[in-house]
Structure 1
């Protein structure tokens, strides 16, 4: 449902929030390494989020990315919209251009109710909440490989 760029962006923001909470900036290379994501893709996403003012960016040897306290309250809806636009909220579940209540595809009514719940969750979940869950050990941010 979410694009790869969007899922990477959310993961990156969680890590940037954690570093920001202890007064640190983090470089894009470190974000990529600590979250198992491709560096160039992560840098592009972080720059996009910076342009949308969801994170701050400082250039130079002591630079990196960080989030102000108020930016940490950004919702997943805002992040998804910044990266993917409103496609998730407005698109047809089967990808048809003309799908609507008046001209529904076979999946329309079922997908519409799921979409409604998804949008509610996106509006009600902040990056800070997700970051706190990771810090408290209730969830993880990096792929766990078991032998």
Structure 2
């Protein structure tokens, strides 16, 4: 459903969030990529975009890395990450990718997909990185097997 970049971005943000909340530390790119099973260069590119959108903080230098502030942990939602990486079309567009799909000119899946798209929007809008990082911390969810 989401692009690979978006999947890596969400996983990276949850990992960074867990490390920031649990240990108050910044996390290096190599650690992030290893922990979420993603290519390092690709992860760097994804995280650069999230830094530009101010969804994650990056600090350069020997003690640098990526971190989430307490405010970011509380306020950054999955929807913000998805829109930053994949754009808003996945949350607004047609299930079949048609440019002119609407209630007046529906695609074959329009009316069945509408409630699913609305539920997805609600799920992404209401879940924060801090909440998901907490599930990893509590052992209720996992980023890597």
Which TM-score band (shorter chain)? Answer: over 0.9
User: d(CA) in 2 for partners of 1:139 and 1:68?
Assistant: 22
Q: 2:84 aligns with which of 82, 85, 88?
A: 82
Cα deviation, residue 34, structure 1: 1.1
Corresponding pairs, count: 143
Please give the TM-score of this superposition, normalised by the length of structure 2: 0.95
Structure 1's consecutive aligned runs of 4 or more residues displaced over 3 angstroms after TM superposition are none
What SS class does the counterpart of residue 138 from structure 1 fall into? coil
Q: Report the Cα distance in structure 1 between the residues aligned to 2:32 and 2:122, rounded to whole angstroms.
A: 28
Distance in 2 (CA, whole Å) between partners of 1:108 and 1:53 is 34
Aligned to 1:65: 66
- Which segments of 5 or more consecutive residues in structure 1 lack a partner in the other structure? none
Within 2, Cα distance between the matches of 1:38 and 1:23? 25
Where in structure 2 are the equivalents of 1:104-143 lying within 5 Å? 104-142=106-144
SS class of match (1:65) = strand
2:47 matched residue in structure 1:
46
Q: Distance in 2 between matches of 1:72 and 1:89?
A: 23
Question: Helix, strand or coil for the counterpart of 1:43?
Answer: helix
Show the counterpart of 2:10.
10
Q: Distance in 1 between matches of 2:8 and 2:98?
A: 26
CA RMSD of aligned residues (A): 0.9
Please give the TM-score of this superposition, normalised by the length of structure 1. 0.94
- Contact 2:57 2:66 (C-alpha < 8 Å) held by counterparts: yes
